[in-house]
A and B are shown apart, each in its own frame.
Chain A
Amino acid sequence: MKSIDLITYVTFGYLACSVLYLIAQVSGSQTKTIKGWLLGALILVFALHTGAIGLRWIESYQMGIGHAPLSNLYESLVFFAWCIALALIIARFKFGMDLLVLLGLPLVTLVLASTSLMDPSIKPLIPALQSNWLIAHVITCFLGYAGFAVSFVAAILLLMARESDFFARHLPRRQTLDEIVYRSILAGFPMLTIGIITGAAWADYAWGSYWQWDPKETWSLITWLVYSAFLHARLTRGWTGRKTALLSIIGFGAVLFTYFGVNYLPGLHSYF
């Protein structure tokens, strides 16, 4: 089997998990064991996803142009989805909250499904991308983004719980959601910081300047500034609840723009 086909199956696997989670959630009764099984299924799909990325790596070596599968939009989206899924699974074990998975999975499915619009062929690396800094850069940035994605989902849940009594009754306690909003960002922020630093190191090495205000760089800085404001608002001004949830949502908007919006502007990163 080729990695591209495997990714297609994985996409449907995540879709199935999303639907089953939804059904289990709506049907309500005795869902503990069912959700346990579902979590197992999700982990299985995630393992396949991991395998598909590994397989693609091997395939590139078989083609004689071996490189980490992080070199074009298709590959980075597959990896982005992988990071979000990983963060969801970690958050599920840490906070024991199935709703997070329920709301996060459609995001994973959507990101993966969007890869069907991209050119999936394995291409040789153009000279500017042949660097180990780049691998470190992409991985750390995406792990950061994944943390922010979890925070975003929790923030949406929190706002829903605040707005309506119906949701408030069916959702986890607000304090728990608030903790998730905060802790996921606390985990994601250093990752993004290291991602920006390794990106700067790569730029310095390849282009002779660690910072060039290229739109993608600038947008990752904007994201970083927003989350830094979040942390200070929370740690020093005691902001919680709706205000920090809104900041988390704004921050994730910046993440999405860094990732998708900026590609329409010219710059060094235009090949992603």
Chain B
Amino acid sequence: MKGRVAGNSSSTEEKGSIISGIVAFFTSARTTIVLLFLLAAGSILGTIVPQTHEIGPVTSFSSRLIVILDLNNVYRSWWFSLLLVLLSFNLLGCLMERLPAIPGEWKGRSRRSTFSFKLADTRSPAKLMEILLPKLSGFMNREPERSGKGDEFVWIKDRIYLLGFPLIHIAIIVILLGGVIGLFFGYRGHVLIKEGSSAQQFSLNSGETKPLPFAISVSAFSLTRYPSGEPKEFRSDIKILENGEEVRSGSILVNHPLTYKGISLFQSDYRVVDVKEVRLTVTGQDSSKTDLLLRPQSSQQIPGTDYEARLLSLDPGTTQRGVGVDLAVNKKGEDPRSLRVYKKTGPVQLGEVQLGFADYTPLYATGLQVGYDPGTLVVWIGCGLLIIGFFLTLFTNFRRITVTFAKEETRTAIRVSCRSRSMRREFRKSVEEIIRETLQSRSAQTKMQ
């Protein structure tokens, strides 16, 4: 058992048996290394081949390869999943191989050592214990634990270190499990809701629509900008309704989602779908200026004239012409006619007044992402375990000294076996020095493993 490491366990198994071959495969750290490299290579492929859902006609060899190997969807492909499954079994395998040894190590019964040596002394065991034990207790800063068999004493420091290895490796399994849960039970989609209206269903990324267990009602959307014109904040003010009753209200901003019943709503995009109000400036003959506010589907008297104006359409200014409106104007005894008022081309004469375009308030539709992933919590638990595991393996220094005294005919044999995670050379030097100085013996036969 001494010095046995995962990876060479196959040597102890019976050759030729298929089962032992499989066991050896899954307990081997060589398998791990190969799997990690294959996963890395697969991931690289996924960043090189475009990951799209549309595939063109399958004609050439390369496009056939893409279809068979799912190269346009690497991370969900059968072989990438297979690699992850193999890695999980590999993790389980090496955990099963190593976990059983941990209680023994915890209690100090393990013989696994970084170094060990033997000494012989003519004094009696009792006498040797009397002088040696206090020194080692002082060095290890604790009293020894006495194991059942014979005169064996064990000092262990930072034994919590032993949990690091299982935690790290269990954590990876937990994270993968969380991913699988999300894959099977989670969903993602998108919904576009106009200001002032509500939605009870959304469209999945696959294109299907799916009902929501509640209704989302959007009261307002706003977009604020920095003075430089760059967007500063997108905000949707929403209410959650269940059976027509408001159960929750709040704002959704980028980086500030709203979660209700495990379903999270995220600000993702927005669209200008309509216009709420257009403001025109009416300049009279005496240069007096008045505002004219036009709303869709309603006519308005133009101040200073006997014309009525109605909004026909708004050009949001995405083309060369810039922003402007088409109006229908009419007065009694005249046929209605249309009038274009654009910001760029300036005010337009109508009777005695001039009509100029001032600005408009858009009616937005806010785009919300809908996400439900019951695996997320599992993933975070795994991440937490991983970080704790790292902390234990990096910042604790497991050290063990085991000393056995055995009476032989004329002398006492002393066996010292030690394990240390780091600073091994220094640890060894200190232990040897302490023992030699205490026993005043120059005849230590040391053996390093």
Residues of A with Cβ closer than 8 Å to B?
Answer: 65, 123-124, 126-128, 130-131, 186-187, 189-190, 193-194, 197, 200-201, 204-211, 213, 215, 218-219, 221-222, 225-226, 228-229, 232-233, 236-237, 254, 262, 265
Can you give 17 contacting A-B residue pairs, CB < 8 Å? A123-B230, A128-B255, A190-B390, A194-B387, A197-B383, A200-B379, A201-B380, A205-B255, A206-B255, A209-B371, A222-B43, A225-B43, A228-B36, A229-B37, A232-B32, A236-B7, A236-B32
Interface of A: prevailing SS: helix
**Judging by beta carbons under 8 Å apart, are A190 and B394 in contact?**
yes
**Judging by beta carbons under 8 Å apart, are B37 and A225 in contact?**
yes
Please measure, in the bound complex, the distance between the C-alpha atom of A205 and the C-alpha atom of B44, giving whole angstroms: 26
Contacts of A187 in B (CB 8 A): 394
Binds A, one of B146-154, B209-217, B231-239: B231-239
Count: A-B pairs, CB below 8 Å: 106
B266 is contacted by which of A206, A225, A226 (Cβ under 8 Å)?
Answer: A206
Please measure, in the bound complex, the distance between the C-alpha atom of A20 and the C-alpha atom of B32, giving whole angstroms: 45
Please measure, in the bound complex, the distance between the C-alpha atom of A209 and the C-alpha atom of B187, giving whole angstroms: 10
**Judging by beta carbons under 8 Å apart, are A127 and B33 in contact?**
no
Closest to A189 in B: B390
List B331-388 residues whose CB lies under 8 Å from chain A.
369, 371, 373, 376, 379-380, 383, 386-387
Please measure, in the bound complex, the distance between the C-alpha atom of A204 and the C-alpha atom of B44, giving whole angstroms: 23
B386 is contacted by which of A65, A193, A211, A265 (Cβ under 8 Å)?
Answer: A193
**Judging by beta carbons under 8 Å apart, are B40 and A225 in contact?**
yes
B254 is contacted by which of A128, A211, A225, A237 (Cβ under 8 Å)?
Answer: A128
Contacts of B254 in A (CB 8 A): 127-128, 130, 206
B301 at the interface (CB under 8 A from A): no
Closest to A213 in B: B75
Q: How many residues of B contact A (CB 8 A)?
A: 46
**Judging by beta carbons under 8 Å apart, are A237 and B40 in contact?**
no
Contacts of A124 in B (CB 8 A): 226, 228, 230, 232
Minimum CB–CB distance for B204 against chain A, Å:
14
Beyond A190-B390, A201-B380, 14 additional contacts (C-beta under 8 Å) are A187-B394, A206-B255, A206-B257, A207-B369, A209-B188, A210-B373, A210-B376, A213-B51, A218-B43, A219-B43, A222-B44, A226-B40, A232-B29, A237-B7
Please measure, in the bound complex, the distance between the C-alpha atom of A115 and the C-alpha atom of B36, giving whole angstroms: 34
Encode B227-268 as 1/0 by CB contact (under 8 A) with A: 010111110000000000000000001110100000010111
**Judging by beta carbons under 8 Å apart, are A186 and B394 in contact?**
yes
B376 is contacted by which of A65, A190, A204, A236 (Cβ under 8 Å)?
Answer: A204
With contacts A127-B234, A206-B254, A236-B5 taken as known, whether A211 is within 8 angstroms of B179 at the C-beta atoms is yes
B276 at the interface (CB under 8 A from A): no
Please measure, in the bound complex, the distance between the C-alpha atom of A218 and the C-alpha atom of B32, giving whole angstroms: 19
Q: Which of A201, A237, A265 gathers most chain B CB within 10 Å? A: A237
Contacts of B233 in A (CB 8 A): 127
B288 at the interface (CB under 8 A from A): no
Minimum CB–CB distance for A137 against chain B, Å:
13
Please measure, in the bound complex, the distance between the C-alpha atom of A160 and the C-alpha atom of B57, giving whole angstroms: 51
Please measure, in the bound complex, the distance between the C-alpha atom of A19 and the C-alpha atom of B33, giving whole angstroms: 40
Closest to A204 in B: B376
Minimum CB–CB distance for A67 against chain B, Å:
12
Please measure, in the bound complex, the distance between the C-alpha atom of A193 and the C-alpha atom of B387, giving whole angstroms: 8
Please measure, in the bound complex, the distance between the C-alpha atom of A69 and the C-alpha atom of B227, giving whole angstroms: 20
Minimum CB–CB distance for A251 against chain B, Å:
10
**Judging by beta carbons under 8 Å apart, are B36 and A232 in contact?**
yes
B119 at the interface (CB under 8 A from A): no
Contacts of A232 in B (CB 8 A): 29, 32-33, 36
Please measure, in the bound complex, the distance between the C-alpha atom of A222 and the C-alpha atom of B138, giving whole angstroms: 47
